[in-house]
Amino acid sequence: MAVENNLLLEVNDLKMYFPIQKGLMKRTTGYVKAVDGVSLSIKKGETLGLVGESGCGKTTTGRCIVRVYRPTDGEIIFHIDGEEVHLNRLERQELKAFRRNMQMIFQDPFSSLNPRMTVLELVGEPLLAHGIARGQELEDRVAEMVNAVGLRVEHLPRYPHSFSGGQRQRIGIARALVQRPKLVVCDEPVSALDVSVQSQVVNLLQDLQSELDLTYLFVAHDMSVVRQVSNRIAVMYVGKLVEVAESEELLRNPRHPYSETLLSAVPRPNPHHAMQRLSLEGEPADPANAPPGCVFHPRCRYMEDICQTEVPALNELSPGHHVACHFADQLQLQGIDSASPSGS
């Protein structure tokens, strides 16, 4: 991938294998290939949506990027102030110092906040840990951040249990953003919230992105939410990216059979919707024992002989539209149709 000036993050051939250990001696009997050769790039100020079903490795990818995990192999390059930082090579101390540039927002606002800490302590902790601010300055910065996420200064001395799910998620967002990171990995940030609160939090994340000049990797399974926030979307299946494109392009003109099925499976809030649902037989492959060839072939409706033996590469089909399918240029696939909304 060519290095451009406005790139913030480059990931090349990222692999994360978790060993399967058995028996008393903890012998390694195999590997769960949670992430198996993922390459992607994120530009400054953009949102890259990463979608896929549970177990496809999207969360693991996000965690490798912020170095919660040390990846088995691959490069993670962070472009900051004209320099390249190779995150995969950083050691403990350097990594700790660098962490303020990349933060994570978690799915579950109930388990991701320490119940024994007040809002002030929760949001102020990262500033203390990195020695960015203390005392009155810390309180001022926390108050400013808490206001920015739609909470009030009166909330500062309270504990997480006195807040609703949506408010807790706001606390989690404040905690992630208070040290002004460059990159934020949002891991299913709205899927645990009520419907009416989801849209508030999505709006908040978008507002904060433009206010604070943030770059998001937005990991989620809900296609309609991902489309709302993302400039580009990457679709992941059993440890591999199968398609990457501009988000409207991907939705209207999907080129990988898995993306097509994923789009058709989204339940439409419209009882007149008459699109033919493409049913997907079976279940995702086991990442510890992935099938040879294309990982999607056992469930693919367009499967041919070559799919069972050869792994398709992620090729650029048209500018910015990457697909990993042997027949990407031949298949006529169905995307969303927003030009003619289906009426009664």
* Shorter beta-carbon distance to another protein: residue 52 or 124: 52
Shortest Å, Cβ 99 to another protein? 31
Q: Which of 48, 46, 61 is nearest to 16 (CA)?
A: 61
Give the nearer residue to another protein in terms of CB position, either 269 or 319: 269
Strand partners, 21: 28
Q: How far is CA 301 from CA 111, 234, 277, 336, in A?
A: 40, 21, 13, 19
- Token pair of 67, please? 């170095």
For residue 121, give every residue at least 6 positions away whose Cβ sits within 8 Å of its Cβ, in sequence order, or none: none
Contact 249, 276 (CB under 8 A): no
Which residues, numbered 200-229, are part of the site for another protein (CB under 8 A)?
200, 202-203, 206, 221-225, 227-228
- Name residue, tokens 């209207």: 252
Residue choice 2, 24, 25, 195 for contact with another protein (CB under 8 A): 195
Bridge pairing between strands 215-220 and 47-51:
parallel
What residues form DSSP beta bridges with 220? Answer: 51
State which residue, 267 or 319, has the beta carbon closest to another protein.
267
User: Minimum distance between the CB of residue 170 and another protein, rounded to whole angstroms?
Assistant: 11
Q: Which of residues 278-307 bind another protein (CB under 8 A)?
A: 279-280, 283
The distance of closest approach from Cβ of residue 83 to another protein in the complex, given in angstroms and rounded to an integer, is 34
Total residues contacting another protein by CB under 8 A comes to 48
Q: Is beta strand 232-237 parallel, antiparallel or unpaired with respect to 47-51?
A: parallel
Q: How far apart are CA 341 and CA 344, in angstroms?
A: 10
Asked if 263 interacts with another protein (CB under 8 A), we say yes
Instruction: Find the binding residues for another protein in span 94-153 (CB under 8 A).
Output: none
Distance CA(231)–CA(248), nearest Å, equals 8
58 versus 182: smaller Cβ distance to another protein: 58
Residue 32: CB minimum distance to another protein, A: 15
266 binds another protein (CB under 8 A): yes
- The smaller minimum CB distance to another protein, of residues 87 and 242, is found at 242
**Residue 176 one-letter amino acid:** A
Stretch that binds another protein, among 16-24, 42-50, 191-199, 301-309 (CB under 8 A): 191-199
Q: How far apart are CA 66 and CA 276, in angstroms?
A: 40
Span interacting with another protein, options 97-105, 160-168, 172-180, 316-324, rule CB under 8 A: 160-168
Report how far residue 115's alpha carbon sits from residue 219's, in angstroms, rounded to the nearest whole number: 25
Site string for another protein, 305-344 (x = CB under 8 A): -------------------------------xxx--xx-x
**Nearest residue (CB) to another protein, 283 versus 305:** 283
Per-residue binding string, another protein, 49-78, x by CB under 8 A, is ----xx------------------------
Q: Rounded distance, CA 297 to CA 117, Å?
A: 49
HSE, CB side, 13 Å, CA atoms: give it for residue 42: 30
- Given the rule CB under 8 A, which residues bind another protein? 53-54, 164-167, 194-200, 202-203, 206, 221-225, 227-228, 248, 251, 261-273, 277, 279-280, 283, 336-338, 341-342, 344
